[in-house]
Every structure is written in structure tokens, then in C-alpha cells.
Amino acid sequence: ETEWMTRQQIVETAYEAILRLNRLKAKYGIIPQQMAGAGEERIKAAWEMAQRIDDILTRGDYQEELPRLKARIDEINAFPVVERRQLELPVGLVKLKFLRSLWSWATGR
């Protein structure tokens, strides 16, 4: 939570932003329409599941109900290979030296 937004407002805003970004990627040809459609279905399913989990936690009967949701949660979380490609960082000619970057960050040098 923040001073200006509740936890629920943050969640709602985040999911809405993800949906809009997905639609923009499709509109401008960054991803194919078919991938955008599948992505939108998955985003909406995840959003609904988050609301369902919040409801269960609010009622307090999560020890019985949450395990029943595991199969569906796993299904929602399974990224199709095509969607994973969107998450890959194209480094091209630039070589990232991860360990050196991590060391610099950790030591401040």
C-alpha cells in the first residue's frame, strides 16, 4: 500500500496496465494478434485468480480452498514458449558481463 493507493488499487492498476501494453504491442505489430489474444486471456485469468485468492484470504478459510486452486494456478502461470520470447533481452553486439555488473553493484565500484 501507499499513501495514495490501497493494495487493491495497485493490483487493479497493474493488471490494467499489462492488458493495455499487450493490446498496444498487437496494434503496432510487435506481437501477432493470436499471441495478443492468448496473452489477454492469460492476463484476465490471472487477474480473476488474484481476486479469488484475496476473497479466500479475507474469509480465512484458505487452508482448505487454496490447495484446490493449485492446478489452475499452475495452468495460468505456464508461459507458452512464444510469450517467453517477448521476455528475452536482445543484446545484439553489446555483451553483458553479468557477474562484473553484479560485483560492481554489490561493491559500489
- Of 7 and 85, the structure prediction assigns the larger pLDDT to 7
| Weakest-pLDDT range from 13-17, 40-44, 48-52, 85-89 | 85-89
| pTM score of the predicted model | 0.65
Question: Considering its fold, how many domains does the chain have in total?
Answer: 1
Within 8 A by CB and 6+ apart from 1, the residues are 7, 10
What distance in Å separates the CA atoms of residue 105 and residue 102, rounded to the nearest whole number?
A: 5
Residue 83, domain extent: 7-107
* Residue 26 within any structural domain of the chain: yes
* Residue 73 within any structural domain of the chain: yes
Q: Are 74 and 57 in contact (CB under 8 A)?
A: no
* Residue 2 within any structural domain of the chain: no
pLDDT cut 90: percent of the chain above it: 25
* Residue 62 within any structural domain of the chain: yes
User: Taking the CB of residue 39, how many other CB atoms lie within 10 A of it?
Assistant: 23
- Residue 25 has a pLDDT of 93
